[in-house]
Amino acid sequence: MSADLPGRPAYLAFLPDFLFVPDAGRARYVVKAWLLALIPSIALSALVSLVVRPATHPDFPVDSALALFLLVVVSPLLETLLLIPPLIGFKRLFGPGPAVVASALLWGIVHSLAAPAWGLIVWWPFLIMSIAFLSWSRQGYGMAAAIVVAIHALQNGFVLLLANLALLAG
C-alpha cells in the first residue's frame, strides 16, 4: 500500500490492489489503470444514454490533427495540473480516501457544466486518476503527474477513436 493511501477505506475495497501500489512497471500500471478507467466509463456512458437520454453531449471536432493534439496532449496535461492542487488540499483536510472521492465528484461537476450528463460518466475515470496520482506521489509529484497524464491521454485517445469510427459509420 502506498504511504499516501494507507489502509484503503472500505468504500474503495472493491478496487484492485495494483491501483494503490506503484511499482517499477510504469507502463503496465498505466495500461491497467486506463482499462480500469475505460471499461466502467463505457458502461456508465451506455447506462446514462439509456436512462437519462441526454439532450446535449460534449461537442468536439474529432476529425483533425488539431483535435487529436488538443484532446490527447493538451487536455490531459492541463486537467492533470488542475487536478493536483485540489486533490492535495482535500487529502490534507480529509485524508486520502475522501480526497479521491471529492476530486472525482469535483471533476464530474466541472464536466457537467459543459454537458449535464457528462459528469455522470467522467467521475469514474477521475476517481481512478486521483487514486493513481496519490499512489504514485511517493515517487514524486512529477512522476505521479506523468502517470495520470498518460492514463488520461489513453482515455481521451480511445474516445476520439470511437468518435471517428462513428463518423465513418455514418
Question: What DSSP letter does each residue of 133-148 carry, written as one string?
Answer: HHHHGGG-HHHHHHHH
Of 137 and 119, the structure prediction assigns the larger pLDDT to 137
Which range (11-15, 48-52, 126-130, 154-158) has the least confidence? Answer: 48-52
Amino acid, single-letter form, for residue 169? A
Quick: pLDDT tens for 64-89: 788 889 999 999 999 999 999 999 99
To 5 degrees, how large is the angle CA 6–CA 78–CA 18? 30
- Segments in the chain forming alpha helices (H): 26-51, 65-69, 75-94, 96-112, 119-136, 141-169
Mean pLDDT of 89-114: 95
In the structure, what pLDDT confidence band is assigned to residue 1 with cuts at 50, 70 and 90? very low
User: Is 80 exceeded by the pLDDT of residue 44?
Assistant: yes
Q: Give the mean model confidence (pLDDT) for residues 107-134.
A: 92
What Cα–Cα distance (Å) separates residue 148 from each residue in 12, 22, 28, 40, 93? 19, 12, 13, 17, 22
pLDDT (tens digit per residue) in 8-22: 889 999 999 999 988
Report whether pLDDT(3) > 60. Answer: no
0.85 surpassed by pTM: yes
Residue 26 has pLDDT above 50, yes or no: yes
Is residue 100 classed exposed, middle or buried when 0-12, 13-18 and 19+ CB atoms within 10 A define those classes?
A: buried
The cell 485524508 sits on which residue? 95
pLDDT-derived band at 56, boundaries 50, 70, 90: low
